[in-house]
Amino acid sequence: MRIISGKYKGRKLLGQNIEGTRPTMDRVKESLFGIIQNNIKDSICLDLFAGTGALGLEAISNGAKECYFIDKNIISINIIKENSKGIENVKIMNKDYLKALNELKNIKFDVIFLDPPYKMNLIQSSLNKIKENNMLNKNGIIVCEFEKEEFEIDYYIFKEKKYGNKNIRIYQNK
Protein backbone atom coordinates (compact mmCIF):
# COMPACT_ATOMS: atom_id res chain seq x y z
CA MET A 1 0.00 0.00 0.00
CA ARG A 2 1.31 3.43 -0.93
CA ILE A 3 0.39 6.99 -1.82
CA ILE A 4 -0.22 6.84 -5.57
CA SER A 5 0.05 10.46 -6.70
CA GLY A 6 0.99 13.99 -5.79
CA LYS A 7 3.69 15.39 -3.54
CA TYR A 8 4.18 12.17 -1.56
CA LYS A 9 3.78 9.77 -4.49
CA GLY A 10 5.36 6.38 -3.82
CA ARG A 11 5.45 6.78 -0.03
CA LYS A 12 4.78 3.39 1.55
CA LEU A 13 1.94 3.16 4.04
CA LEU A 14 1.81 0.77 6.97
CA GLY A 15 -1.25 -1.00 8.32
CA GLN A 16 -2.72 -3.23 5.66
CA ASN A 17 -3.15 -5.93 8.33
CA ILE A 18 -5.13 -3.96 10.95
CA GLU A 19 -8.02 -6.12 12.13
CA GLY A 20 -11.39 -4.75 11.00
CA THR A 21 -10.00 -2.62 8.16
CA ARG A 22 -9.84 -3.18 4.41
CA PRO A 23 -7.53 -0.60 2.91
CA THR A 24 -8.65 0.81 -0.43
CA MET A 25 -6.72 -0.91 -3.22
CA ASP A 26 -4.34 1.27 -5.22
CA ARG A 27 -6.29 0.88 -8.48
CA VAL A 28 -9.55 1.90 -6.76
CA LYS A 29 -7.81 4.84 -5.09
CA GLU A 30 -6.33 5.92 -8.42
CA SER A 31 -9.74 5.79 -10.12
CA LEU A 32 -11.43 7.60 -7.22
CA PHE A 33 -8.88 10.42 -7.12
CA GLY A 34 -9.15 10.77 -10.89
CA ILE A 35 -12.88 11.47 -10.39
CA ILE A 36 -12.51 13.89 -7.45
CA GLN A 37 -9.21 15.59 -8.37
CA ASN A 38 -10.90 18.97 -8.95
CA ASN A 39 -12.31 18.88 -5.40
CA ILE A 40 -8.99 18.26 -3.63
CA LYS A 41 -6.78 21.34 -4.15
CA ASP A 42 -6.88 23.63 -1.07
CA SER A 43 -9.69 21.56 0.48
CA ILE A 44 -10.40 20.76 4.10
CA CYS A 45 -10.96 17.00 4.36
CA LEU A 46 -12.36 14.57 6.87
CA ASP A 47 -11.30 10.92 6.80
CA LEU A 48 -13.92 9.30 9.06
CA PHE A 49 -13.20 5.67 10.02
CA ALA A 50 -9.69 6.46 8.77
CA GLY A 51 -8.06 3.04 9.31
CA THR A 52 -4.56 3.55 7.88
CA GLY A 53 -5.26 7.12 6.79
CA ALA A 54 -4.66 6.22 3.13
CA LEU A 55 -7.50 8.30 1.67
CA GLY A 56 -6.81 11.44 3.70
CA LEU A 57 -3.06 11.18 3.08
CA GLU A 58 -3.71 10.80 -0.65
CA ALA A 59 -5.80 13.97 -0.46
CA ILE A 60 -3.01 15.88 1.31
CA SER A 61 -0.50 14.58 -1.23
CA ASN A 62 -2.72 16.00 -3.96
CA GLY A 63 -3.03 19.47 -2.47
CA ALA A 64 -5.61 19.36 0.34
CA LYS A 65 -5.01 22.16 2.85
CA GLU A 66 -5.64 19.93 5.88
CA CYS A 67 -7.23 16.64 6.84
CA TYR A 68 -8.86 15.38 10.02
CA PHE A 69 -8.39 11.65 10.64
CA ILE A 70 -10.93 9.98 12.95
CA ASP A 71 -10.81 6.43 14.23
CA LYS A 72 -11.70 4.85 17.56
CA ASN A 73 -9.17 2.01 17.16
CA ILE A 74 -5.93 3.00 18.91
CA ILE A 75 -3.94 0.68 16.64
CA SER A 76 -5.27 2.59 13.62
CA ILE A 77 -4.46 5.90 15.28
CA ASN A 78 -0.86 4.82 15.88
CA ILE A 79 -0.55 3.66 12.26
CA ILE A 80 -1.93 7.00 11.01
CA LYS A 81 0.61 8.82 13.19
CA GLU A 82 3.40 6.72 11.70
CA ASN A 83 2.10 7.06 8.11
CA SER A 84 1.77 10.84 8.46
CA LYS A 85 5.21 11.54 9.94
CA GLY A 86 6.70 14.59 8.24
CA ILE A 87 3.38 15.58 6.66
CA GLU A 88 1.88 18.87 7.79
CA ASN A 89 -1.76 19.79 8.43
CA VAL A 90 -2.75 16.38 9.77
CA LYS A 91 -5.21 16.36 12.68
CA ILE A 92 -5.74 12.97 14.33
CA MET A 93 -8.56 12.13 16.75
CA ASN A 94 -8.97 8.85 18.63
CA LYS A 95 -12.74 9.03 19.10
CA ASP A 96 -16.04 7.40 18.30
CA TYR A 97 -17.32 8.80 15.00
CA LEU A 98 -20.47 10.44 16.43
CA LYS A 99 -18.54 12.16 19.23
CA ALA A 100 -15.97 13.36 16.70
CA LEU A 101 -18.66 14.67 14.32
CA ASN A 102 -20.22 16.61 17.21
CA GLU A 103 -16.84 18.08 18.20
CA LEU A 104 -16.10 19.10 14.60
CA LYS A 105 -19.57 20.47 13.83
CA ASN A 106 -18.30 24.04 13.38
CA ILE A 107 -16.01 23.02 10.52
CA LYS A 108 -17.24 23.02 6.93
CA PHE A 109 -15.56 20.24 4.97
CA ASP A 110 -14.92 20.20 1.23
CA VAL A 111 -14.32 16.44 1.06
CA ILE A 112 -15.53 13.80 3.51
CA PHE A 113 -14.39 10.19 3.17
CA LEU A 114 -16.77 7.62 4.73
CA ASP A 115 -15.35 4.12 4.71
CA PRO A 116 -16.68 2.38 7.83
CA PRO A 117 -16.24 -1.31 8.58
CA TYR A 118 -18.65 -3.12 6.23
CA LYS A 119 -21.25 -5.08 8.22
CA MET A 120 -21.64 -2.31 10.85
CA ASN A 121 -24.10 -0.15 8.87
CA LEU A 122 -22.60 3.17 9.98
CA ILE A 123 -23.00 5.18 6.77
CA GLN A 124 -26.63 6.13 7.43
CA SER A 125 -25.95 7.49 10.92
CA SER A 126 -22.82 9.27 9.63
CA LEU A 127 -24.70 10.94 6.77
CA ASN A 128 -27.51 11.94 9.14
CA LYS A 129 -25.07 13.54 11.62
CA ILE A 130 -23.12 15.34 8.87
CA LYS A 131 -26.41 16.75 7.52
CA GLU A 132 -27.73 17.62 10.99
CA ASN A 133 -24.50 19.48 11.82
CA ASN A 134 -24.36 21.11 8.35
CA MET A 135 -20.72 20.04 7.96
CA LEU A 136 -20.46 19.88 4.16
CA ASN A 137 -19.48 23.01 2.25
CA LYS A 138 -21.91 24.16 -0.45
CA ASN A 139 -19.82 22.57 -3.21
CA GLY A 140 -18.37 19.80 -1.04
CA ILE A 141 -18.53 16.06 -1.65
CA ILE A 142 -18.94 12.95 0.46
CA VAL A 143 -17.17 9.81 -0.77
CA CYS A 144 -18.78 6.61 0.56
CA GLU A 145 -17.24 3.19 0.26
CA PHE A 146 -19.51 0.27 1.10
CA GLU A 147 -20.43 -3.29 0.24
CA LYS A 148 -24.23 -3.72 0.15
CA GLU A 149 -25.58 -1.23 2.65
CA GLU A 150 -28.62 0.73 1.50
CA PHE A 151 -29.40 4.08 3.04
CA GLU A 152 -31.69 7.07 2.64
CA ILE A 153 -29.93 10.23 1.64
CA ASP A 154 -30.56 13.93 1.52
CA TYR A 155 -27.75 14.46 -0.99
CA TYR A 156 -27.47 14.29 -4.76
CA ILE A 157 -25.57 11.26 -6.15
CA PHE A 158 -22.77 12.76 -8.24
CA LYS A 159 -21.03 9.53 -9.29
CA GLU A 160 -21.24 5.83 -8.57
CA LYS A 161 -18.79 3.02 -9.39
CA LYS A 162 -18.48 -0.65 -8.51
CA TYR A 163 -15.18 -2.49 -8.01
CA GLY A 164 -15.88 -6.17 -7.31
CA ASN A 165 -17.84 -6.24 -4.02
CA LYS A 166 -16.83 -2.64 -3.24
CA ASN A 167 -19.12 0.28 -4.14
CA ILE A 168 -18.03 3.90 -4.27
CA ARG A 169 -20.72 6.56 -4.24
CA ILE A 170 -19.96 10.29 -4.30
CA TYR A 171 -22.57 12.69 -2.95
CA GLN A 172 -23.00 16.46 -3.26
CA ASN A 173 -25.41 18.86 -1.57
CA LYS A 174 -28.75 19.22 -3.33
- Residue 88 pLDDT: 94
- Residue 164 pLDDT: 82
Residue 34 lies in a domain: yes
Residue 18 lies in a domain: no
Phi, psi for residue 35 in degrees, rounded to 5: -75, -40
Q: Structural domain tally of the chain?
A: 1
- Residue 22 pLDDT: 59
Does residue 20 carry a pLDDT above 60?
no
Q: Which CATH number goes with the domain that contains 75?
A: 3.40.50.150
Residue 7 lies in a domain: no
The pTM assigned to this predicted structure is 0.93
- Residue 93 pLDDT: 98
Residue 6 lies in a domain: no
Range of the domain at 134: 26-172
The tens digit of pLDDT for each residue in 121-151 reads 788 899 999 999 999 999 999 999 888 766 7
- Residue 79 pLDDT: 96
Concatenating the DSSP letter of every residue in the chain gives -B--SSTTTT-B---TT-TT--PPPHHHHHHHHHHHHHHHTT-EEEEET-TT-HHHHHHHHTT-SEEEEEES-HHHHHHHHHHTTT-SSEEEEES-HHHHHHHTTTPPEEEEEE---GGG--HHHHHHHHHHTT-EEEEEEEEEEESS-----SSEEEEEEEETTEEEEEEE--
Does residue 60 carry a pLDDT above 60?
yes
